[in-house]
Amino acid sequence: MRALLIVDLQNDFTKPGGALYFPGAENVIPPIIELVERFKSNGLPIIYTRDWHEDNDYEFAVWGTHCLHNSEGSEIVSELSMSLKDYDNVYEIRKSRYSAFYQTNLEDILASMDVDEVHVGGLVTHICVLFTVEELRNRGIKTYVHSDCVDSFDKSMHEFALKEMKEVLLANVI
């Protein structure tokens, strides 16, 4: 079974004024929505993550306050929210670390549906996307990273992460 995994497509990353917004981050939204529509038309599962932090999370010392629980910045972008409205085969993962597997039920969700292939898009390429793809590959899950659906505030690290996912993790970067 195939599934789509969208990493941290949230206001704090994609919208001007967001805590960790970087110019161009919003450019991943249209191709991700296209993927969402393709997966919906085939009735396939769509999983999205939300970076989700409690007050005084240790990550704030590194990145500043972002995606604070129940804040506007922690919300998924409205385009994704609208696209997923009334779609039943959708799952939300709230995560507090880089990997979407860390202290979440993502592994259980994938196992319950016998998912053996995951298509990935989202932010940020060399952080949460990379560490989630690494975990997918550790589990032997065939992984496709859609290069037009990922981006980073650091373009050299973005390119490094794409290369790392392709050459070391053996993910399919398309």
Angle in degrees, CA 56, 57, 61, rounded to 5 = 85
pTM of the model: 0.96
pLDDT tens string for the chain (174 positions)? 999 999 999 999 999 999 999 999 999 999 999 999 999 999 999 999 999 988 988 888 888 789 989 999 999 999 999 999 999 999 999 999 999 999 999 999 999 999 999 999 999 999 999 999 999 999 999 999 999 999 999 999 999 999 999 999 999 999
Q: List phi, psi (to 5°) of 54.
A: -80, 170
Q: What are the residue boundaries of the structural domains of the chain, listed by start?
A: 8-173
CATH superfamily of the 8-173 domain: Isochorismatase-like (3.40.50.850)
